[in-house]
Chains A and B, each alone.
Chain A
């Protein structure tokens, strides 16, 4: 009689489930061993040359200056790296904003019914998509900003001073009472948001157009004007003016920053334009026809029907382009803008151990990229079709 009390399966060394787990465990162990061996290799060789394989050097005084900033050579190496991160964030943040705006405009322009506009946009996209971004940045630096006259004899336009060391634009300067003014502006912004929500509710209730943007702007302006008068003109305009070798006043945009930003924005915008065009063309034709049938103007059609649906498709690849822009900012080493890769290179050249510094650099880029990816994923989830 067959023994039916306990199920008899294959022995464990032939059992597929055990083998699967064992196989994965063995593979993990192999990878772990390999990584550990590489690490030991590095540490042993560093020790043999008398280089300490730890991160203590980050608190040593840097000894070098970071051009274009107020960084003092007495601060630590880690502070220098943070200055680099700030510069990278500056160029990446502004670059992402400008590239999105320009890319959107050019992308929509590529589908325009106006022949000149359409051809012009196509020319822009086809040219700048096919030039390596490094060459574009070098061109902007060597052929544009460096060709400007020196600061002893700059180009002076009303409110602008342009020289090969930078571009000075009009700015605001703070006078006593500026703090209260900024506080009032903050309160005005909060009030504007409240007004916008109220107007939306009015529309939901009565069906009349909300004009919430107009109302909110009106509130902000009214509060700003009142605060300006009450606090006694706390901000004044700061126009740059040039004497001898210095330019006083205004806000200075570094020449290298400008060249890097221009190169990155022009390049990335050409890619984003293609993404926008593709995403608009992916919206079914029926939507456009239905919108025309409802007597919406082309502008309204674009704004209320086509673009919201196109945006959904465009977000993942555009997030990709943002990541590319952030990483491409490291090409600033070619023109000397002190973003984080350049600062790390200078630090390595001045006696800080290379393996640890590169590890720090990679960690920084990883953090930045994961941050941008997180925001993109958030947007993606929010705009996704709920039915899926």
Chain B
């Protein structure tokens, strides 16, 4: 009798639990949901989860020891330095071009710094928000140095390798259709899959962002002829503004990432480097003081623009990672194997496109 009553209680108990734990409007695990929680969550957690590339030398690359290096990696570390105070508080997650937005939407990464192009569809349908552009790039075409191709028209009827899930894939189609050139796309998931196909001459052209092509070319194995065996055509097929990406709907976190990038640009504008940042703290220039967190009003209060970041976040970023120019020179600059000139990725005062809004 008692046993039968207890057996009835079981299902009723589960029903009650489900009914109470069923808040229809909140949903989810409530972890990083809502507008503006992620910054707090990360500060509490003490670590930033950064979605990155692991196969493009110079931008996002991992060596045999598991160390990540590259332009995008440096900005991941900058965000960690700004938010948690230590540039080492980053967990890197390698993502393929097909997975990256699903991983971002599924909250597996907090920020995606993975040579991702800013487009309208990604802002809209993909539910992503793009912070300040870190690298103004364009799409290019790479061929073997001994092939006769000099322009896109020469590539009529050829097979062209491209990464799937990228703007490159879509631009390739648009550009070739507009010029009425037939071609055959070989769309593969990773650069690692494209490389053997290109080596075996399964495809005669390899299209990607020019920066990626430069990185791949710089690391081309000597057994296949080294970098000299490849040639990047002297044309740009599209605009590719690359920058960090966060999820829509979290303005606080977006501001944090955005202003971290802007701080590196402002630092270069003011001539603040990793070496002289401690000295610059003594500066009397109010702009520099505000940036480095040493500004004091007459009443003695600090400058807090309400971004949710610590007062000295820019100081931490510059001290631990460096300003934009230093990051550039260290990873993709003219003295690195990639050898990319600043070009549009220079300060506006030097003719480039980097223009930091005032930090005030």
Contact = CB atoms under 8 A, between A and B. Distances in A.
Contacts of A152: 201
Contact of B165 (A164, A165, A349, A353): A349
Interface residues on A, range: 35 or more
A336 B193 contact: yes
A330 interface: no
Contacts of A94: none
A363 interface: no
Interface stretch (B156-164, B222-230, B298-306): B156-164
Given A44-B28, A165-B159, A146 B197 contact: yes
A63 interface: yes
Nearest to B15: A30
A27 interface: yes
B88 interface: no
A253 to B, nearest CB: 15
Interface string A330-343: 00010010000000
A34 interface: yes
Most chain B CB within a 10 A radius of its CB, from A26, A50, A150, A255: A50
A41 B27 contact: yes
B15 A49 contact: no
A61 to B, nearest CB: 10
Contact of A33 (B19, B26, B158, B249): B19
B125 A353 contact: yes
Contacts of B157: 245-246
A346 interface: yes
A86 interface: no
B200 A336 contact: no
Contact of B249 (A40, A48, A73, A246): A48
Contacts of A245: 157-158
B33 interface: yes
Interface string B106-125: 00000000000000011011
A155 to B, nearest CB: 14
Most chain A CB within a 10 A radius of its CB, from B98, B187, B193: B187
Interface string A145-174: 011001010000000000011000000000
B15 A29 contact: yes
Contact of B27 (A44, A65, A165): A44
Contact of B187 (A44, A165, A336, A352): A336
B169 interface: yes
B170 A37 contact: no
A32 B98 CA distance: 33
A33 B22 contact: yes
Interface in B53-82: none
Contacts, number: 126
A346 B164 contact: yes
Contacts of A50: 124-125, 127, 248-249
A348 B106 CA distance: 13
A45 interface: yes
Given A27-B11, A336-B187, A350 B165 contact: yes
A37 B197 contact: no
Nearest to A358: B102
Contact of A345 (B159, B164, B166, B193): B164
Most chain B CB within a 10 A radius of its CB, from A40, A65, A346: A65
A232 interface: no
A11 interface: no
B186 A67 contact: yes
A146 B170 contact: no
Given A63-B173, A350-B165, A57 B202 contact: no
A246 B159 CA distance: 11
B97 A164 contact: no
Contacts of A354: 102, 105
19 contacts: A30-B18, A40-B27, A50-B249, A63-B170, A63-B173, A68-B184, A142-B196, A150-B202, A164-B201, A345-B98, A346-B165, A346-B187, A348-B98, A349-B99, A350-B164, A350-B165, A350-B169, A351-B126, A352-B125
List the 9 shortest-distance A-B pairs measured between CB atoms, nearest first.
Answer: A349-B165, A49-B127, A349-B98, A150-B201, A44-B27, A50-B127, A41-B27, A73-B173, A346-B164
